[in-house]
């Protein structure tokens, strides 16, 4: 008589990229998988990612990729070795989401449509016989001895051989962010690394950026003007918002700023608007304008010759104490020196961030020390696994966070199904 082995039953909590990948990986390897999503539809953050285009990953090899994940980066090695950027792009192509790299670094789906990525993942999960259940909020883990044996939902309960927590972070609550995953982990003895909003716009003490909301400055250099912080800073575009500033370089610094703001009232930031030239070269520009374009308005020269948006050039003149209608030949030396100083070190003071409500990623989360990186299994409760942003690991702008979610989901799904390659 042939005895049919019972299929391993796995519950995946959360239908973001990490949860959907975990469900697909486990189901493809013979497990009976149910995916529980608390929102009316899965993957809302994924649908909003990259401004709706979804910057899925990037072209970095695993080693430099891990360096960008900071102190905890090496924890991602086993996941990335199974589902790094190359394997992820192959996987996505296999489910009809071919990708491309318009600038040679950032990877986007060719369709440039994040919702299509979510739909393809969901379709693949259903094809693999994953039962996808929405409006299902998991509120408690059920344990039998040292093993997880199921979950309680806001209504009813379910049993399982393994549970994967892929509930994401508490950032962007409008897109499903909440702290229930942290609470589930804490209930079985996991500890937390303190949470801080990261990849979040900065609120400045200065009010004038609000008047320029929507204006962007390409390729500036931003650094924190504090002892112990490198003046090298970060390069990228800067965007003025209603409350302050945003853009890739600012977002990438926002996690560090949020942490500093827990200890001090304000964080001074400096912006070099012309990182490709030295202050002396800028000074020489002004001398040249005085002799060759003396009758032209300085505000117009700043716009046409330096490439600053006109509205921002006007603001810069005001900050430098120059008359708005001053011509190059009549720019006082003191205002000229001020302008050069502003162009190479404009001061903006962070007084707050836009908080978890607008945090694209959250720094901190479930501490990694009680989780085995090779399987993403809990060391506190057998059969419990983790994936994605719920863990204390995060990266800068540029596809790092989705790549981590996809890779960790894949690893957790394989491990929970007992299908890890030897
Ligand atoms: C606006 C925006 C733009 C972004 N753009 C990019 C980008 O271009 N590139 C990039 O790399 N990263 C980007 N990110 C970050 C990236 O989207 C996240 O890091 C990633 O989605 C995390 O995946 P996850 O599966 O771990 O969590 P999530 O995507 O947050 O998914 C978790 C899911 O779990 C569900 N859930 C939570 N609690 C429960 C519960 N108790 N029971 C059941 N279900 C639950 C949630 O509703 C959610 O659907 C962006 C984020 C935002 C908000």
How is the chain split into domains, by residue range? 9-195+364-416, 201-354
- The residue whose CA has the least distance to atom 4 of ligand 1 is 49
Q: Is the CB of 36 under 6 A from ligand 1?
A: yes
Q: Is the CB of 405 under 6 A from ligand 1?
A: yes
Q: What is the pLDDT of residue 361?
A: 97
Question: Are 14 and 168 in contact, with CB atoms under 8 Å apart?
Answer: yes
- The residue whose CA has the least distance to atom 51 of ligand 1 is 360
User: Among 13, 38, 168, which is best to mutate for testing ligand 1, by the most ligand atoms less than 8 A from CB?
Assistant: 168
Q: Which residue has the tokens 């696994």?
A: 385
- What is the CA(89)–ligand 1 centre distance, in A? 19
Three-state SS at 414: helix
User: Among 106, 252, 360, 413, which is best to mutate for testing ligand 1, by the most ligand atoms less than 8 A from CB?
Assistant: 360
| Cβ-based burial of 278 (10 A; exposed 0-12, middle 13-18, buried ≥19) | exposed
| Beta-sheet pairing, 244-246 with 361-366 | unpaired
Q: Is the CB of 18 under 6 A from ligand 1?
A: yes
User: What number of other Cβ atoms are within 10 A of residue 314's Cβ?
Assistant: 17
Q: Is the CB of 389 under 6 A from ligand 1?
A: yes
- What is the CA(35)–ligand 1 centre distance, in A? 15
Q: What is the pLDDT of residue 1?
A: 63
**Which residues 6+ apart lie within 8 Å of 105 measured at CB?**
58, 59, 60, 398
Q: What is the pLDDT of residue 3?
A: 65
- The residue whose CA has the least distance to atom 33 of ligand 1 is 14
Q: Is the CB of 50 under 6 A from ligand 1?
A: yes
- CATH 3.40.50.720 corresponds to the domain 9-195+364-416: no
> pLDDT tens digits for 216-267?
999 999 999 999 888 899 999 999 999 999 999 999 999 999 999 999 999 9
- What is the CA(52)–ligand 1 centre distance, in A? 13
- What is the CA(371)–ligand 1 centre distance, in A? 20
- What is the CA(331)–ligand 1 centre distance, in A? 52
- What is the CA(39)–ligand 1 centre distance, in A? 12
Q: How many helices (H) and strands (E) does the chain have?
A: 14, 21
- What is the CA(9)–ligand 1 centre distance, in A? 24
Three-state SS at 128: coil
User: Among 34, 45, 164, which is best to mutate for testing ligand 1, by the most ligand atoms less than 8 A from CB?
Assistant: 45
Q: Is the CB of 399 under 6 A from ligand 1?
A: yes
User: What number of other Cβ atoms are within 10 A of residue 379's Cβ?
Assistant: 12
Q: What tokens appear for 31 in the block?
A: 């497990």
| Beta-sheet pairing, 162-165 with 267-272 | unpaired
- What is the CA(270)–ligand 1 centre distance, in A? 31
Q: What is the pLDDT of residue 231?
A: 86
CA–CA gap between residue 81 and residue 26 (Å, rounded): 18
pLDDT-flagged residues of the chain (< 70)? 1-4
Q: Is the CB of 58 under 6 A from ligand 1?
A: no
Select from 248, 260, 223 the least CA-distant residue to 345: 223
DSSP symbol at 137: -
Interhelix angle 333-345/310-319, rounded to 10 degrees, is 120
Q: What is the pLDDT of residue 175?
A: 96
Q: What tokens appear for 144 in the block?
A: 């039998």
Residue/partner pairs of 146-150 with CB below 8 Å, 24 or more apart: 146/381, 146/382, 147/381, 147/382, 147/383, 148/188, 148/381, 148/382, 148/383, 148/384, 149/383, 150/11
Angle (CA) 27 32 37, round 5°? 80
Please give the C-alpha separations between residue 372 and each of 192, 193, 380, 393, 401, in angstroms, as whole numbers. Answer: 16, 16, 10, 14, 20
- Find the DSSP H helices in 128-230: 180-187, 208-211
Q: Is the CB of 326 under 6 A from ligand 1?
A: no
**Which residues 6+ apart lie within 8 Å of 349 measured at CB?**
204, 205, 206, 266, 267, 268, 269
Please give the C-alpha separations between residue 23 and each of 130, 199, 217, 223, 366, in angstroms, as whole numbers. Answer: 7, 27, 42, 41, 21
CA–CA gap between residue 163 and residue 9 (Å, rounded): 9
- What is the CA(292)–ligand 1 centre distance, in A? 55
User: What number of other Cβ atoms are within 10 A of residue 97's Cβ?
Assistant: 22
Q: What is the pLDDT of residue 422?
A: 77
């Amino acid at each position: 008589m042939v005895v049919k082995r019972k299929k391993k039953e796995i519950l995946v909590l959360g239908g973001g990229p990490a949860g959907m990948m975990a469900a697909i990986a486990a189901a493809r390897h013979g497990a009976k998988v149910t995916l529980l999503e608390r929102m009316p539809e899965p993957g809302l953050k994924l649908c909003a990612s990259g401004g709706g285009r979804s910057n899925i990953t990037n072209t970095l090899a695993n080693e430099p990729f891990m360096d960008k994940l900071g102190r905890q980066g090496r924890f991602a090695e086993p996941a990335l070795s199974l589902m790094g950027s190359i394997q992820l792009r192959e996987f996505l192509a296999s489910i009809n989401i071919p990708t491309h790299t318009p600038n040679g670094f950032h990877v986007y789906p060719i369709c440039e449509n994040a919702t299509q990525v979510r739909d393809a993942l969901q379709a693949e999960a259903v094809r693999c016989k994953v039962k996808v259940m929405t409006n299902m909020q998991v509120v408690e883990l059920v344990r039998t001895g040292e093993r997880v044996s199921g979950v309680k939902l806001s209504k009813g309960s379910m049993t399982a051989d393994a549970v994967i927590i892929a509930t994401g972070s508490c950032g962007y609550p409008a897109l499903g962010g909440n702290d229930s995953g942290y609470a589930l982990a804490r209930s079985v003895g996991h500890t937390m690394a303190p949470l801080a909003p990261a990849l979040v716009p900065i609120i400045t003490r200065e009010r004038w950026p609000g008047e320029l909301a929507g204006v962007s400055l390409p390729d500036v250099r931003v650094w924190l003007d504090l002892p112990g912080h490198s003046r090298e800073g970060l390069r990228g575009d800067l965007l003025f918002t209603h409350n302050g500033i945003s853009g890739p370089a600012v977002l990438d610094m926002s996690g560090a700023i949020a942490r500093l703001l827990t200890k001090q009232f304000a964080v001074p930031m400096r912006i070099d608007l012309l990182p490709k030239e030295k202050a002396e070269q800028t000074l020489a520009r002004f001398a040249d304008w005085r002799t060759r374009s003396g009758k032209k308005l300085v505000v117009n020269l700043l716009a046409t010759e330096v490439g600053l948006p006109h509205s921002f050039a006007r603001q810069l003149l005001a900050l430098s104490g120059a008359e708005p209608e001053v011509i190059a030949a009549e720019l006082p030396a003191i205002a000229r020196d001020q302008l050069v100083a502003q162009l190479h070190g404009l001061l903006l003071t962070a007084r707050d961030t836009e908080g978890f409500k607008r945090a694209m990623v959250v720094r901190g989360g479930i501490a990694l020390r009680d989780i085995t990186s090779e399987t993403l299994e809990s060391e506190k409760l057998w059969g419990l696994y983790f994936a994605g942003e719920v863990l204390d690991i995060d990266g800068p702008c540029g596809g790092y966070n989705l790549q981590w979610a996809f890779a960790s989901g894949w690893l957790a799904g394989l491990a929970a199904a007992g299908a890890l390659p030897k």
